[in-house]
Copies of this chain bind each other. A is one copy, B any other.
Amino acid sequence: MEKIDHSKMTEEEFLAQYDPTQFPKGPYLAVDNVLFAVEELPNDNIRKLSEKRLQVLLVKRTEHPFLGLWSLPGIFPGWEETLEEACLRSLRLKSHLQDIHLEQLYTFSNPRRDPRTRIVSTSYMGLVNKSMLPHIEASPTAEWFTIGSSDFPKKLAFDHAMIIEYGLQRIRNKLEYTDIAFSLLPKEFTLAQLQQVYEIILGKSLSKANFQRKIKDKVESTNTYQTGGFRPALLYKHKKPA
């Protein structure tokens, strides 16, 4: 085929004759959601903090490849939607979750990451407090799994274990330099509650002294007390940076 000098055309003429299929085929594109949730376990003892745990939403593969394994909820984006819109669509379809705040996590592009064909995946991440979600309807294929628990699937589809690990690192970093912890708490909270959120996300215990040094500039006292526990605990609120 003779090479055409497109610069002789106007941009309108160029766009009218532009045919992307004449170029070598590039990678396909998919999206995947890493949706974390803090779950609060039922608590009979009002003198103790209710136990919390960090979970991630997985869906069971009902198709090849990796049929029967658990995977992140994902989808192929449509021609007319942003990747974030595609993520929200897949959450609606696969888990009935709506209006979740998502942020872009990373685009994974290892040429061997999908056995079907060359598929690049842009992942989005969210973090919700299950007790604050208005409504979670059960879905036949979606389920929350507690990170680090013995129930967590030993093997996930595709590179999704790595994507979850990447998401965990991101929210752990965000604990340090953003307000993410406060989005999981009521407006007024005790330092014990805040420390518990940190410990769940970091996946380890913190000493009370170290923890309080770390967060002292992020909170301020409300001068009111939470009653009902063993002894009244001072309530704090998030101190927005000046």
Interface residues of chain A, those whose CB is within 8 Å of chain B, are: 6-7, 9, 11, 14-15, 18, 20, 23-30, 62-67, 76-84, 104, 106-107, 109-111, 115-118, 120, 122, 176-177
Contacts and interface: CB of A to CB of B under 8 A. Distances in A.
A116 B13 CA distance: 11
Contacts of A15: 64-65, 115-116
A181 B59 CA distance: 42
Contacts of A84: 109
Given A107-B104, A107-B122, A109-B77, A11 B64 contact: yes
A23 B76 contact: yes
Pick the most buried of A6, A18, A109, A117: most chain B CB atoms within 10 A of its CB. Answer: A109
A157 to B, nearest CB: 11
Contacts of A18: 116-117
B67 A20 contact: no
A62 B83 CA distance: 29
Nearest to A25: B79
A153 to B, nearest CB: 18
B79 A14 contact: no
A6 B30 CA distance: 20
A111 B177 contact: no
Contacts of A82: 109-111
